[in-house]
Amino acid sequence: MSAGARTRRLLGSGFGAGLLPIAPGTWGSLVVLVLMAALHGVSGWWGGLLPAEAEPGSHAVPLAWALAVAATWIVGVRLGNRAAADWGEEDPGAFVLDEFVGQGIALFPLLPVLPGPLPPLLALAAFLLFRIFDVLKPPPCRRLEALPGGLGIMADDLMAGVYAAVGVAVLRAAGL
């Protein structure tokens, strides 16, 4: 295997998260949730690595999160276009950048509470809802998965993330 293919596999597997033995997509999603919790904290448990103070009305955290998700999408599509050659299958289970994007989108409704700590029940709901929608693939997820190359690998998880984000927004609006 070439050095380029090894690098693409390392990146596509989320630096190895997708190489864990059982449920690689779940591990990929968990990496995103843990990263957000490490950065921002979890109410009642952990204060986070980033300062909790921000100017009222600041959009820096949501913008940074949206840019990170968008950049991961672009990289994921590009790496996904080479997935068949690099991994030997069209949509390899170990390729988890699609879960990174979907989970990142599922967490969008929590961005207004940032830079303060995440509400733990909503963070857990974002994780569980994304995993459920990613596995069940409600319409149009299954059709999006059939798109060619990296676009198909990434698009169904993006839609599952949108479904999960709507669910989290509804739970947040309901006062959870």
Q: What pLDDT, on a 0 to 100 scale, did the predictor assign at position 59? A: 67
Give the residue numbers spanning the domain of 24: 3-173
Number of separate domains in the chain: 1
Give the model's pLDDT for residue 154. 96
Q: Please tell me the least confidently modeled range out of 1-15, 58-72, 99-113, 116-130.
A: 58-72
pLDDT band at 31 (very low <50, low <70, confident <90, very high): very high
Spatial CB neighbours of 43, under 8 Å, sequence gap ≥ 6:
116, 117, 118, 119, 120
pLDDT at 112: 72
Rg (CA), the chain: 16
pTM equals 0.92
Which positions ≥6 away from 15 have C-beta within 8 Å?
none
Question: What is the predicted pLDDT for the residue at 138?
Answer: 95
Q: Please give the pLDDT value at position 103.
A: 98
CA–CA distance, 121 with 77 (Å, rounded to integer): 31
Model pLDDT for residues 34-77, shown as the tens digit of each residue: 999 988 888 888 777 776 665 555 667 788 889 999 999 999 99
User: Dihedral of the CA atoms 139, 16, 129, 53 (nearest 10)?
Assistant: -130
Q: Which of residues 110 and 161 earns the better pLDDT score?
A: 161
